[in-house]
Amino acid sequence: MALDLAIIGGTGLYQFPGLEKVERKTVETPFGATSAPVVCGELAGRSVAFLARHGEGHSVPPHRVNYRANIWALHSLGARRVIGVNAVGGIRDDMGPRVVAVPDQLIDYTHGRFTSFCDADGAEVRHIDFSEPYTASLREAVLAAAGRAGVAVVDGGCYGATQGPRLETRAEIARLRRDGCDLVGMTGMPEAALARELELDYACIALIANWAAGCGDEAEISLEEIFANLREATAVVPVLIAALLAA
Whether residue 187 is annotated as binding a ligand: the answer is yes
The type of residue at 203 is: A
Whether residue 246 is annotated as binding a ligand: the answer is no
Whether residue 34 is annotated as binding a ligand: the answer is no
Residue 242 and residue 142 in contact, taking contact as beta carbons nearer than 8 Å: no
166: DSSP letter: S
Whether residue 148 is annotated as binding a ligand: the answer is no
Strand residues in 70-111 grouped as ranges (E): 81-90, 100-102, 105-108
Name the residue among 84, 105, 96 with its Cα closest to residue 232. Answer: 96
Angle at the Cα of 199 from the Cα atoms of 17 and 141, rounded to 5 degrees: 50
Residue 98 and residue 90 in contact, taking contact as beta carbons nearer than 8 Å: no
Whether residue 11 is annotated as binding a ligand: the answer is yes
Q: At what angle do helices 136-149 and 237-246 cross, to 10 degrees?
A: 110
Whether residue 211 is annotated as binding a ligand: the answer is yes
Residue 209 and residue 97 in contact, taking contact as beta carbons nearer than 8 Å: yes
Q: What are the distances in angstroms from CA 175 to CA 63, 206, 208, 213, 221?
A: 21, 21, 19, 11, 19
Name the residue among 176, 170, 152 with its Cα closest to residue 213. Answer: 170
| Binding site, annotated residues for substrate | 186, 210-212
| Binding site, annotated residues for phosphate | 11, 53-54, 187
| Binding site, annotated residues | 11, 53-54, 186-187, 210-212
